[in-house]
Structure 1
């Protein structure tokens, strides 16, 4: 009886090993795993998006950046949560074809995971900002976590040739007076936005275009995403981008990076 049981166990193990081998060597599975984004530590934008934004621009006008000069028709396109191998290259293709320079707020561990895509962002003339290393819920942590997250990201950015822009965008757009002051003490300005495309909701192209255009004004800072959490669909955002660019140009807008929209405020380099 014992010999029979051992044979049954051995057979079950063999079947499991064969199944595992077939799963991980299946081309479709490998392809899917290659495209899967590095997970956001704080969860997806859908689950953690703040209900409302505290407007701290009035209290910290030289630190919290939300809307540029309103006397000229300039607009800054910004993209969060990259890089990845799926959406970021598509966004870069559109920007290249349209001759537009933008600002990308990159996550440190994704820069390490996809360095070639991150290097392409820099090489094609876009500005890079710090979006933390692991995209945590930074409001629930102390200043030491913020300092560590920003420092690790700066190290990753330095390896791909991105000099410190001194711009920090908090995960989920969650800010408070304490967070602003802690970021400023580290030499950063906090880059927010005036136009939210809501692309993180997986909206189709037409809805993304509509959201951007209905909130558009001179000096606008537009939020879109060049990556997201696993399973998030940003195809509508990518498809909307050419129309957004063309429509704004027809209306007389000029596209700028954030360092062009907001003149540099003297500050120490990010540490």
Structure 2
């Protein structure tokens, strides 16, 4: 009898482990989460531009659709917190990574990619392309960023690029077109790099989105306040009926050998692909006083990273935000008593000095790509034609962006034949006891 109970206990432990593994793999989509409404595949041939703040010809989003994007990372702790918030709601986003940051934290940018998010690039060191002496310098800033992020991820990345401070140049636009790299501006700038409370950030983002009704949202995963605000922003998106669209690329970016070689020299002494676990996931203080940066002092952490601002209180919303308090004013730079200690707008890569910078001008750049475009629905086509340049684009929206999954597949690509959808297989969920009994019968009979 004792042996029988021992065997039963063994089976329970074994099957419990299987159950945990299965639930982890099948965690998303999950009931009650925001999730992803549809996934679009973008053909980046010719370097099309997206985001109505600068590239007004193409708009593939329908009403109440949102694309989440994050710039300047990866950054220890803040990017990890952003990833957790997205995972909790089964949401996918696009990360425009700085090359130096990716080489500094390769294990984090690999986690971004492994989680199913799209990884694009944001130059090598966040230098404004238009302020460099020659475009050869600008080309190097772009390509070194592409090669560095590609190396850090250890696999394919998307040919998606966002200009630092959202300012392009005619030479850069033409070059990216030849390289078949798509450019991304924004529809809704969170301005999360400015000193503000978490409550203010949440209300500001949602107010802009509610006014516009849809859009590509720009945030920065290097900021602590953004990581704190994101769970509440996602809760408000869900409460207000917004839907998440995930952008993917039709083909990965192709790196250039000369810049790959340069990055290999830069990366000497940094972790190689395969160091999957950061120290903080291996060693953690469980008793006694933990060091200030518990688990952060390993050799993979680059120097010169921005200091995180002080803890900010977050008020849980009633259906999405603390509506009772008025929006706090930004601290005044002229007032010594209100001097900000918030991290600068951009992450500071290894070997550089932190410094403030501008984000984006409200005025669109004079250089707009006009050789490709997008249209995923009659409504989107109408919106595009209203703002399109005088010269018609060579490609239609439907030829550049197509829905590969989600509810809107037919609208997004009307010319494409409808793919045959297989009926979902019904899964019978058996209790642990039932599974144990079946296994017992299989091994030992009745």
State the superposition RMSD in angstroms.
2.3
When Rg is computed on C-alpha atoms for both structures, the one with the higher figure is 2
The answer as to 2:230 corresponding to 1:241 is yes
Task: State the alpha-carbon separation in 2 of the partners of residues 199 and 101 from structure 1.
Answer: 20
CA spacing shift, 1:165–1:198, aligned 2, 3 Å: same
* Residue matched to 2:137: 145
Contact persistence 1:147–1:186 (CA under 8 A): no
* Residue matched to 1:24: none
Contact persistence 1:92–1:121 (CA under 8 A): yes
Describe the SS at the equivalent of 2:69: strand
* Residue matched to 1:172: 165
Q: CA deviation at 1:169?
A: 0.4
- How many residue pairs match? The answer is 201
* Residue matched to 2:276: none
Choose 157-166 or 106-115, whichever is displaced more: 157-166
The answer as to 2:120 corresponding to 1:129 is yes
TM-score, with structure 1 as normaliser: 0.68
Correspondence list, 1:95-134, <5 A? 95-134=86-125
Choose 101-110 or 171-180, whichever is displaced more: 171-180
Task: State the alpha-carbon separation in 2 of the partners of residues 172 and 95 from structure 1.
Answer: 25
CA spacing shift, 1:150–1:179, aligned 2, 3 Å: closer
Contact persistence 1:122–1:161 (CA under 8 A): no
The answer as to 2:68 corresponding to 1:87 is no
Describe the SS at the equivalent of 1:242: helix
| 1:221-262 deviations in Å (ceiling 9; x for gaps) | 1111011xxxxxx33222211111111112221212233xxx
Q: Structure 2, unaligned stretches of length 5 or more?
A: 1-45, 53-58, 257-446
Contact persistence 1:188–1:270 (CA under 8 A): no
The answer as to 2:50 corresponding to 1:65 is yes
Which of 241, 245, 253 in structure 2 is aligned with 1:256? 245
TM-score, with structure 2 as normaliser: 0.42
Q: Structure 1, unaligned stretches of length 5 or more?
A: 1-60, 228-233
Contact persistence 1:70–1:218 (CA under 8 A): no
Contact persistence 2:122–2:164 (CA under 8 A): yes
CA spacing shift, 1:66–1:270, aligned 2, 3 Å: farther
Q: CA deviation at 1:267?
A: 10
Choose 172-181 or 120-129, whichever is displaced more: 172-181
* Residue matched to 1:215: 208
CA spacing shift, 1:253–1:97, aligned 2, 3 Å: same
CA spacing shift, 1:267–1:103, aligned 2, 3 Å: closer
Contact persistence 1:132–1:150 (CA under 8 A): yes
Contact persistence 2:64–2:213 (CA under 8 A): yes
CA spacing shift, 1:93–1:70, aligned 2, 3 Å: closer
| 1:86-137 deviations in Å (ceiling 9; x for gaps) | 3111111111112110010001111111100111000001001110111112
Q: CA deviation at 1:70?
A: 4.4
| 1:12-53 deviations in Å (ceiling 9; x for gaps) | xxxxxxxxxxxxxxxxxxxxxxxxxxxxxxxxxxxxxxxxxx
CA spacing shift, 1:156–1:203, aligned 2, 3 Å: same
Which of 226, 241, 247 in structure 1 is aligned with 2:221? 226
Task: State the alpha-carbon separation in 1 of the partners of residues 104 and 203 from structure 2.
Answer: 33
Correspondence list, 1:42-81, <5 A? 63-67=48-52, 68-81=59-72
Q: CA deviation at 1:186?
A: 2.2
The answer as to 2:228 corresponding to 1:199 is no
CA spacing shift, 1:268–1:113, aligned 2, 3 Å: closer
